[in-house]
């Protein structure tokens, strides 16, 4: 972590300590706002392959969502979904191999990410955006989803009737939102039980669902798909322990690949992982 990032986190921790002393609810509101804001989001920087794409966009919640489309039209379509603070261009190396396999490739920047408009996003917003992409540009039979994109896709597929066999390559998906929230509390040094309770109440108020409902493990029981799940032992963002609980459920439609030394971000950059995904598709 850069010194400037450590300094910023230290400032935020002190700020939350002061706010919590004055108002538990206000501290929870500020924490929730921070939780939904990709402050370190990836800036638009599109590799050469993006110059060969058709640029597409649509309005979603009054925001302009930017996307790219390759090899249109094809019967087989695949949608690439990035994680929190990331962007579509991070997955440029998947495009050509997928096009070579006959896929029409779709990739979009989520709200508040990359070239799309907005300042905040959460799993519900991202999942609703995915639903709209499927409605406008689908049917989409295959998906590659990293991190935050994994939970958003799972929520979307619960509500989307898919034609034929759906294929999903999960790359270190954010399996349990409850885990992500606990990590946020640790990062912010928010150990106050009342503040944490108010935070979870906010999620319930905004979505109508408790925090633990936002779970890939739970959602998987409500849609059919052939899944390749790749996770790294050294992932400190979306821990392997959450993925192993899904593995223990013994889904016959999920194939797990456990890697070592890639962490959370190099897992989608790794050539061997990319080849496994392309082969699976």
Helix, strand, coil: what percent of the chain each, to 5?
50, 20, 35
| 173 close to 143: Cβ distance less than 8 angstroms | no
What secondary structure, in 3-state letters, does 1-47 show?
CCHHHHHHHHHHHHHHHHHHHHCHHHHHHHHHHHHCCCCCCCCCCCC
Q: Which residues contact 238 (CB under 8 A, 6 or more apart)?
A: 147, 172, 173, 174, 175, 179, 180, 231, 264
DSSP 155-194: HHHHSSPPPS--EEEEES---BHHHHHHHHHHHHT---HH
Phi and psi, residue 191, nearest 5°: -95, -5
pLDDT at 189: 83
Tokens 């503040």 belong to residue: 195
The Cα–Cα gap between 128 and 134 comes to 10
pLDDT at 44: 66
pLDDT at 22: 67
Distances (CA, A) of 100 to 19, 93, 103, 153: 54, 12, 7, 25
| 114 close to 87: Cβ distance less than 8 angstroms | yes
Phi and psi, residue 178, nearest 5°: -60, -40
pLDDT at 1: 44
The rounded average pLDDT for each run of 10 residues, N- to C-terminus, in the chain (281 residues) is 49 66 83 87 78 97 97 97 96 98 98 94 97 96 98 96 91 98 89 92 94 98 96 97 97 97 98 98 96
**Helical packing angle, 123-137 and 148-158, nearest 10°:** 60
pLDDT at 177: 98
Tokens 């034929």 belong to residue: 164
**C-alpha of 178 from chain center:** 15
The Cα–Cα gap between 26 and 198 comes to 9
Distances (CA, A) of 103 to 84, 169, 178: 25, 15, 35
Distances (CA, A) of 7 to 1, 172, 183, 236, 279: 10, 28, 18, 21, 43
pLDDT at 11: 53
The Cα–Cα gap between 153 and 170 comes to 10
| 54 close to 70: Cβ distance less than 8 angstroms | yes
- Residue of 87, 7, 73 whose CA lies nearest to 43: 87
pLDDT at 163: 79
């Amino acid at each position: 972590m850069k010194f400037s990032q450590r300094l910023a986190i230290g400032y935020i921790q002190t700020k939350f300590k002061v706010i919590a002393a004055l108002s538990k609810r206000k501290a929870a509101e500020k924490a929730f706002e921070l939780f939904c804001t990709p402050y370190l989001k990836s800036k638009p920087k599109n590799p050469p392959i993006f110059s060969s794409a058709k640029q597409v966009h649509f309005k979603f919640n009054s925001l302009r969502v930017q996307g790219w489309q390759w090899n249109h039209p094809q019967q087989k379509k695949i949608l690439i979904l990035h994680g929190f603070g990331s962007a579509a261009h991070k997955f440029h190396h998947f495009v050509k191999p997928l096009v070579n396999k006959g896929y029409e490739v779709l990739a979009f920047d989520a709200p508040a990410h990359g070239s799309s408009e907005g300042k905040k996003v959460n799993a519900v917003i991202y999942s609703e955006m995915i639903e709209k992409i499927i409605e406008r540009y689908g049917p989409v039979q295959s998906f590659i989803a990293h991190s935050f994109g994994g939970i958003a896709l799972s929520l979307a597929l619960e509500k989307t009737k898919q034609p034929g066999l759906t294929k999903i390559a999960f790359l270190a998906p954010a399996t349990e939102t409850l885990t992500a929230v606990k990590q946020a509390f640790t990062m912010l040094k928010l150990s106050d039980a009342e503040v944490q309770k108010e935070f979870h109440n906010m999620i319930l108020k905004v979505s109508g669902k408790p925090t633990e409902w936002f779970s890939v493990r739970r959602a998987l029981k409500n849609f059919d798909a052939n899944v390749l799940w790749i996770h790294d032992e050294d992932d400190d963002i979306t821990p392997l322990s959450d993925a192993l609980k899904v593995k223990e459920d013994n889904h016959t439609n999920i194939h797990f690949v456990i890697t070592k030394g890639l962490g959370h971000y190099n897992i989608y950059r790794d050539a061997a992982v990319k080849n496994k995904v392309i082969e699976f598709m």
